[in-house]
Structure formats: structure tokens, C-alpha cells
Structure 1
Amino acid sequence: MVKTIPLFCILTFVVLLTYADGNVASLPCGGKIFVEDSVVIDIPSLHGDECVWDIQTQDDRILAFTLINERFEDVQDYLTVHDGVGKDSPSLQIGNQMKYEASNKDLPPAMYTTSSVATLRSRGTRASVLQLKIQKAALCPFNLGPNTACGRIVDEISCYCMNFALLNWDYQMIFCYQNGMKLVSLESYDEEQAILSAWDVVQWSSLSDVKQEGNWVWETTGAPLIPGYQNWNIGEPNSASGEEDCMAFPSASQRGWYDDSCNDAHSGTCVLHP
């Protein structure tokens, strides 16, 4: 759940004074914020002083910044986000962010750091409070090598990479692990449709009953299929050819999941969540 945290609750160096006429004045501000998951902070109107915050998240993750009801282009004279901590850290720009061929165009414009730290600076004056959403995000490469493609296709913080190479289930799992990711475990209809919208091919998931017949488990997360999301085709799973212990989900033009021999070859989507 995203929490909205007023500045006076999270920054020890910021004091807001409210006068009888309703105006708000801010004393010298700044501080440190550690982002466990996601926060929304209120950046108040300033009166000449510059506020500087050092933002940090988990070491092997990056930071994603999005504005609520505003555009970065419209507030760049008032607010800047810098890639790293220090006076010489480069300013992030929406126009310089990586453009993925496979990406969800409906996602809000976001700015990403290249490491786990950033500097946030605000200065000047503004008529209203500015709301900034800061999230821990997974670093997303452009691809994982030949015959692959990556993108932020479900949300602005996760990374999905398609391996178009046709591999059996075990090797597709290994490919994802070797790249620091996991073969996808589908959590919702929307996630499944987003993947198929980006890459409309038959592909492996991590769902299998190889350990116990009929007991389907998402192997990369250890979660049982029931009571979670499922989308089996009519009559599936059926083990029609005997040993069909791995689930493949078909292209958008086909219907529903089916069990298949783990030795068959399909493409696969790797995923990395923050």
C-alpha cells in the first residue's frame, strides 16, 4: 500500500509554521529518506531557500520518481532529481530515460536512477504543495542478449524480459536465474494480458506439478496455485500424453493455460520485482 507521508513526519530538519491567516512558511529544510517500498511526499512551497534531501533504497535496487497530477517538464525550475548523492550528481531528465520497445505506454512518466541513491532539490516558490511518489524499482536492462527483449510492461517498478529462444522448461528456468531473474509466476489476469500484449507467443510459466501430480506450484515463488489466479483452458490440465507436468500459456489468439511435457520447447518471460 502506498503511504502519503507529510514532510514533517519523515524529515527531522523540516519545520512548517502555520500562521493565523492560513499561510505556511518553511524553515531551512533537508534530510535523509530511506525508501523501503514506496512513499509519497508533500514538497511545500518555499520562499527562497533550497531544500536538499538524500534518498536511498536497497543496495541492489534503483529509485523511480513520478509526479502526482503534475509533469516534470512543468516543475523543473522548482524541483530537480539528481542521479547520486553530491553536488556534482547529474540531473535526471525525462527525455534521457531509456525507451523500451516493449513497454506499457499507459504507465506514468517516471525518472529512474542508475543506482540506489539520489538527491532531491527544491528551490524557489510555488503556489501549491507538490506531491512526489518515490518507489524502489528493479533495474531493467534493454535486453539479455540475442533474441531477447525487456521492458516495464506491467508497472513502472518491475522488469520483464522475453527470451524468444525455444528451450525446455528446465533450461528456460536456468536462463532466467543466470540473468538474476525468475521465470514468470502469473499473479493476475491483467499481468498475463500485459505480457501477451508485449510478446504474443506461446511460453513457459514457472507453474508445475512435477513434484506431486495434481499439486500445482509456482516453482520460482513456492506459492501454491490454489487459491490464487488461474486461467486453465477447458479440460485442462489433462496430462493427455502422460507426463505433462509444466504449464504453458498460449498466445492471445488462443484460449487458456494447458499442461505440457516439460521437455517440449517454448519461449519464456523472466521477471524481476523490486
Structure 2
Amino acid sequence: MKSIGKYRLQRFLGRGTWSVVFKVSLPETARVLALKLLQPDPVLADLLGMETMKKIFRREAQILGQLNHPNILQISDFDYWKSKPFFVTEFCHTSLKDIMGGGHVRTRVIRLDQAVKYTQEILRVLQYLHEAGIIHRDIKPDNILFTEDNNMKVADFGLVYKDSSPLKGILPPNIIIGSGEYAAPEQLARKKIVPQTDLYPVGVLLYKMLTGRFPRQGGELSSLNPHCNQNWDRFIKKAMAPDPARRFHSAREMEESMLELKRANKA
């Protein structure tokens, strides 16, 4: 296989449970892009059915096409190849997962200024999404990508919550949407999700960037990172409060609180 439609394959980038991703180019422009082709894990395909998966895949492409934010992956095409849907986006050469050192429980520590910058950009995307009535539901390092110009892009909108484009009736009711350590308690309990559901994984992610470990492994942030005082402990606890009503009211409020802590660090 040398091409998919009009796109010339350059390199296989990876496989997920839903799809495969290739680095591709358009011969007439030489522009480098990423192509995501629906090719699900056989177990998942048996569970959901290919028609259901095609609906969800199309829905992701439609939602991406409606969004316009500098830190959200931009889609440029949607089509079919051998009856399988695919869509094309800007190319990203790495992810926050790679920067943090892969999928291991213990990962490298990122310096405070850089971790705050990453978190700020994620929170600004979430504020934009929440104002548009969208809850991402799967913020994790794998879904935070970077272009070759080092611009952050939030990706993976296949299972987002959106009132005007519901998944109810498409997915089986026992499916949990979210990823392990980054899933909020209400997701794991299959309870109602709210915008604050997206803030929980941001708290987990910031803690892990600054310590190299997950919060469940124990230890206050201030005891594990010499650049963080007890105010940072309170910040993480609020972001990760079991009750979403006790978290920050919005992504913007969480961002402002974090930047205030950062300024205080330099005072």
C-alpha cells in the first residue's frame, strides 16, 4: 500500500484501538499531513459493530471541522478508502506522552515553567470547548500533540460529549469513557459529567509532570518537587476533588489560580 486516495504514504505513525495513523503527503503540494484511518481492534469492532464505529468516526471529523482554535488539531479532509472512512489533519511529530518519557508509571519530571505553560494551553482549549458546549472526556498525555514548530494541539475528539451530537443510543450503556488514572471519579462511576470533569485529568497531568508519578502513588506535590509549596498542594487537591462541584468553577478560573501561584513563586 503506497497511497490512500490522493495521499501518498510516507510512514506509519501508530495504532490505537480505533484507528491507524500515517504520515502522508499530497504530491502536488508536498505538504506533510497526518491521515487517520478507521481500522479498529477486532474485539472492539465485535463489541460495537463497524457501523457504530463509522458513525462515531464521522462524528469526530464533523466536530473537528466545527472547531477553530490554534491549539486544537485542524482537519482538512474526510473521505473513504475501500469503504473505510479516514480524515486528514495537520501533522504532529510528537506527544506529551513522548516528552514525559512514554507510558511507564514513573516518567521524567518537567520543570515548573514548562509544565505550567503546557497546562495553561490545555486549559485555554478546555475553556473554548466548554463555552461551545463540548466536554472532551479524555484529556491525557497521548492526546496532547506537538507540531514540528512546537505548537501544542489537543486531539482525539471521537468520544467528546456534545449536546447537539449525542453518543447516547450509539454506544452501549456500560462503556466507560475516559482513560485509567486520568478518568474523573464520576466517569468511572458512570455518573453525570460536567465541564469540571475535564479539570480532574488536568490536575493529574500537572502533578505527574512535576513529580514523575501519579497522585495515587502518594506524596504531596510540595514534598516531591522543591519548586512547589503547600499552595500547590491545595491547588492540586481542588482540581482533583472527588466531587466536581468542589473543583474549580471553570478552566479559566483554574488557569488564573495556577498563574497566580506561578507569580508568587517568583516573588
TM-score category (smaller protein): under 0.3
TM-score computed with the length of structure 1 as normaliser = 0.27
Greater C-alpha Rg? 1
Higher relative strand content: 1
The two structures have a TM-score, normalised by structure 2, of: 0.27
